[in-house]
Amino acid sequence: MNSNVEERRRRLLALLEETQHETKGGLSGLDPESVIHTDERAWRVRDVVGHLGVWNAEAARSLEAHAAGRAYHCVPSEASYFDYNGVAAAERRTWTADQVWAEYDQSHEQLSSIIESMPADQWDRSILYPWNETGTVDGLVTIMMKHERVDHCEIILNAAGGGSTGR
């Protein structure tokens, strides 16, 4: 098997594991009911965890479709993010923190599993991302982990006085 693909696979698996560890370590210590987005969304810590789980699962669906030679996306464009996010958040509003964390963990397991099994010949082919843009397998996972770490967790932890997630 191509050693370059295997090195990239190892790097992405390590990134997934490290991100999950940092997210759980940082956010699980916060009150899940604390409102951390004070805008019209009024998202609590657990709403953000739910958001991360949903989008990581969508990324896994795109990767699974790509591995099978198909394409998948859940929103037609960036302009549809807020509509999609609002529905997904509303669906999880009544979930317990444990249910939200379980979905989050499962989404990371899905991502890891598909990265582990991604055929080597699919790594360098263009993949359709869940938000209807194209890129690479590496790019999708990197974007998703940045979304988790920087776009959400780092902001929450800084606001809560807990510092950075390490990046």
Q: For Cα atoms 79, 81, 83, give the angle at the middle one, nearest 5 degrees.
A: 100
Phi, psi at 128, each rounded to 5° = -85, 125
Give me the mean pLDDT over the 125-149 stretch: 95
Residue 1 has pLDDT above 60, yes or no: no
Q: How far apart are CA 40 and CA 98, in angstroms?
A: 25
pLDDT at res. 2: 63
Q: For Cα atoms 127, 69, 6, give the angle at the middle one, nearest 5 degrees.
A: 65
Domains of the chain with CATH codes: 3-159 (1.20.120.450)
pTM: 0.90
pLDDT tens by residue, 46-62: 999 999 999 999 999 99
